[in-house]
Amino acid sequence: MAKHSDDVRDGFTSKFGIICAAAGSAIGLGNIWRFPYVVGDSGGGAFLLIYLGFIVLLGIPVMLSEFIIGRRGQRNAFGSFKRLAPGKPWYLVGVMGIVAAFMILAFYSTIAGWTLHYVIQSFANTFAGKTSTEITRIFEDFHTQAFLPLLWQIIFLAMTAWIIFSGVKKGIEKYTKVLMPFLVLLLIIMAIRSVTLEGSYEGVLFLFKPDFSAVDSGVLLAALGQAFFSLSIGMGALITYGSYIGKQNNLGNIAVEVSLADTLIAILAGVAIFPAVFAFGLDPAEGPGLIFTVLPNIFHQMPGGYFFSIIFFVLLAIAALTSSISILEVVVAYLTEELNLTRHKATFMAVIAAAFVGIFCTLSFGTLKNITISELGIFGLLDFTASNLLLPLGGLLIVVFVGWYMKKKDVKEEVSNRGTLKVRFFDVLRFILKFIAPVAIAIVLFDSLGIIDRLTG
């Protein structure tokens, strides 16, 4: 049993460092695809401010807590809880994380598949000379059909599985280190192009001028879910990674740096998208297709746009891969430890099962469009349940575990590397973990579910 988990542990850290792995997990479609569309759906500026508040007040403490649990437990999400709280039901937090990982992988691979398709379309120069209406129509035709989106989804899942079991992740990470700064550079260039388009100012206002009149409990929950999704927290991915972190590393620093990088990239994506949305007269609230209808328009208006477009979608697909492997890893680590499966078998089973659910997600944009529950299709339902319910609930239990269950001395030992680091922020951290974070997450979560109303009403 231990052998499997040690296999899992080796790959990431030894050579390329935990920051790289954790940032690779955090930075992905969540920043560039999901963030802009959720901001658009949720009304812009006010959402952004709330989101930033949640990142600082809740996101960083939850991330740090996951690292603490993982490094102290020296196991994956499930095993770490079992070790730190033997005989107690805390391991169920790990089980919940596995369920969430599974759901996220299913819908994540739909969008990653679209990204792969857009790599090919960029090569083929499909969007050259097209108006923004035509670009939108091309996207509509593509994502509502069955065959191509499914094909790309399966290809993406196969790539994820292949990396997980062949150990190529080392190679991938080596490249990621060089490639991700490129992605940032490209986003900066695109952002500059976007804000200099005619008619873009309204988009800048949309993103940065808060209008709190539209904020309701649904918007708060969307911001919380987006913060957790983007930081890869609440389901134990970073507990697993935390167990790879060396005893000499500063957990607090890592949490802050990864969160900062993740947030900057999301904002950059927002600055690239919204000015262009308004310049081209598109709808900011159009949903999950937003970047696929907006970005080709931007590339159009850029010198060298043909190449930019290819490079961008390739980099986005790679960013998606470094995130999806961290999601699959949660499931695989569980299967190898709990059911004693070999790594190959576990990966194979997990990815087949994710593909099965994923197929329904992909088809829910076309063939299965009519299957809905309270206005959400299959895709939306899985995304909502995993990102907005399971991740916050997981995060809540994680901070309660570190704030209330673990001994203060043990937590301090982990954060301060056995007293070798000065942690002046420790009392603040402890206060946040004990009171602020659990209360805030609980209020947002339960309020939006109507539970508070029911209790007080």
**Smallest separation (angstroms) from ligand PHE to the CB of 100:** 8
**Smallest separation (angstroms) from ligand PHE to the CB of 128:** 29
Binder of ligand PHE out of 219, 327, 396, 400 (CB under 6 A): 327
Binder of ligand PHE out of 28, 94, 296, 305 (CB under 6 A): 28
Q: Is 218 exposed, middle or buried (0-12, 13-18, 19+ CB in 10 A)?
A: middle
Regarding 378 and contact with ligand PHE (CB under 6 A), the answer is: no
Regarding 323 and contact with ligand PHE (CB under 6 A), the answer is: yes
Regarding 230 and contact with ligand PHE (CB under 6 A), the answer is: yes
Task: For residue 203, give the nearest of 273, 291, 131 by alpha carbon.
Answer: 273
Binder of ligand PHE out of 4, 18, 24, 31 (CB under 6 A): 31
How far are the Cα atoms of 39, 99, 226, 233 from residue 386, in angstroms, in the given order?
18, 8, 11, 12
Residues between 69 and 108 with contacts to ligand PHE, criterion CB under 6 A = 104
**Residue number with the smallest Cβ distance to ligand PHE:** 30
Give the interface segment with ligand PHE, choosing from 173-181, 224-232, 293-301, 348-356 (CB under 6 A).
Answer: 224-232
CA distance 325 to 314: 17
Regarding 326 and contact with ligand PHE (CB under 6 A), the answer is: yes
**Smallest separation (angstroms) from ligand PHE to the CB of 87:** 28
End-to-end Cα spacing for the chain: 50
Give the interface segment with ligand PHE, choosing from 125-133, 226-234, 331-339, 413-421 (CB under 6 A).
Answer: 226-234
**Smallest separation (angstroms) from ligand PHE to the CB of 279:** 26
Work out the number of other CB atoms within 10 angstroms of the CB of residue 46.
19
Regarding 30 and contact with ligand PHE (CB under 6 A), the answer is: yes
**Smallest separation (angstroms) from ligand PHE to the CB of 13:** 17
Work out the number of other CB atoms within 10 angstroms of the CB of residue 322.
25
How far are the Cα atoms of 11, 29, 337, 414 from residue 80, in angstroms, in the given order?
18, 28, 11, 14
**30 or 44: CB nearest ligand PHE:** 30
Give the interface segment with ligand PHE, choosing from 170-178, 189-197, 231-239, 272-280 (CB under 6 A).
Answer: 231-239
**111 or 411: CB nearest ligand PHE:** 111
DSSP reduced 3-state for 15: helix
Regarding 29 and contact with ligand PHE (CB under 6 A), the answer is: yes
* Backbone φ, ψ for residue 167 (5° rounding): 75, 10
Say which residue the tokens 């947030």 belong to.
263
DSSP reduced 3-state for 280: coil
**Smallest separation (angstroms) from ligand PHE to the CB of 309:** 21
Helix 91-123, helix 343-363: angle, nearest 10: 60
Convert 414-453 into a string of H (helix), E (strand) and C (coil). Answer: HHCCCCCCCCCCHHHHHHHHHHHHHHHHHHHHHHHCCHHH
Regarding 346 and contact with ligand PHE (CB under 6 A), the answer is: no
Regarding 240 and contact with ligand PHE (CB under 6 A), the answer is: no
**220 or 235: CB nearest ligand PHE:** 235
**Smallest separation (angstroms) from ligand PHE to the CB of 43:** 21
CA distance 344 to 141: 37
Helix 305-338, helix 290-300: angle, nearest 10: 150
Q: 373: which strand partners?
A: 376
Give the interface segment with ligand PHE, choosing from 10-18, 112-120, 176-184, 322-330 (CB under 6 A).
Answer: 322-330
Regarding 293 and contact with ligand PHE (CB under 6 A), the answer is: no
Work out the number of other CB atoms within 10 angstroms of the CB of residue 212.
12
Regarding 200 and contact with ligand PHE (CB under 6 A), the answer is: no
Task: Give how many residues touch ligand PHE by CB under 6 A.
Answer: 15
CB 289 within 8 A of CB 143: yes
**Smallest separation (angstroms) from ligand PHE to the CB of 33:** 8
**Smallest separation (angstroms) from ligand PHE to the CB of 235:** 6
Residues that bind ligand PHE (CB under 6 A): 25-26, 28-31, 104, 229-230, 232, 235, 237, 323, 326-327
